[in-house]
Amino acid sequence: MSPISRRGFLKLASRFLTATGLAILVIPIVAYFYPPKLEEMPSEPVSAGPLDGLPAGRSKTIRFGRYPALVIHIPEGLRAYSAVCTHFACIVKWDAESGQIACPCHDGFFDPLDGQVISGPPPTPLEALKVEITDGEIFVGGIL
Ligand code: FES
């Protein structure tokens, strides 16, 4: 086996760096058009604690299978969403000051009534989850 020449090594290194650079550019673009899907949803409803522990205007982030879920108590009632942003999967938070669900990563904002995108780069609404109250306890489970 002959040793690799200097020119051959530089060609190889150049091709490697070009491929790496293309991957760095292409992967985020592809991820934008194919946002993360919720998988492995819990098969049973998950408790979010007692209703009186979540007064109007407050929120709670709970563990929902592999992903967190955001439960918010707005004047219209309780709402629950997957807390995974539909842009690049950052975790969204309730912003009581603006009355919106906010993603801190790229300033994405969602409507707390239905999870629709208000502004920012998220391509689709938040995944809405079913909320039920049983014996004064909040349960989150199942996609609406
Ligand atoms: S990850 Fe949420 S706005 Fe980008």
**pLDDT tens digits for the chain (144 residues)?**
667 888 888 888 888 888 888 878 887 777 666 655 656 678 889 999 999 999 999 999 999 988 899 999 999 999 999 999 999 999 999 999 999 999 999 999 999 999 999 999 999 999 999 999 999 999 998 655
Residue 125 in contact with ligand 1 by CB distance below 6 A: no
Q: How far is the CA of 104 from the centre of ligand 1 (A)?
A: 7
Beta-bridge mates of residue 128: 81
Strands 108-110 and 100-103: antiparallel
**Atom number of ligand 1 nearest to Cα 89:** 1
Q: Determine the distance from the C-alpha atom of residue 95 to the mean position of all C-alpha atoms in its chain, rounded to a whole number.
A: 15
Residue 120 in contact with ligand 1 by CB distance below 6 A: yes
Q: How far is the CA of 139 from the centre of ligand 1 (A)?
A: 27
Say how far apart CA 53 and CA 57 lie, in whole Å. 12
Q: What is the largest CA-CA distance in the chain?
A: 78
Question: Residues 135, 50, 100, CA angle at the centre, nearest 5°?
Answer: 120
**Atom number of ligand 1 nearest to Cα 92:** 2
* pTM (two decimals): 0.74
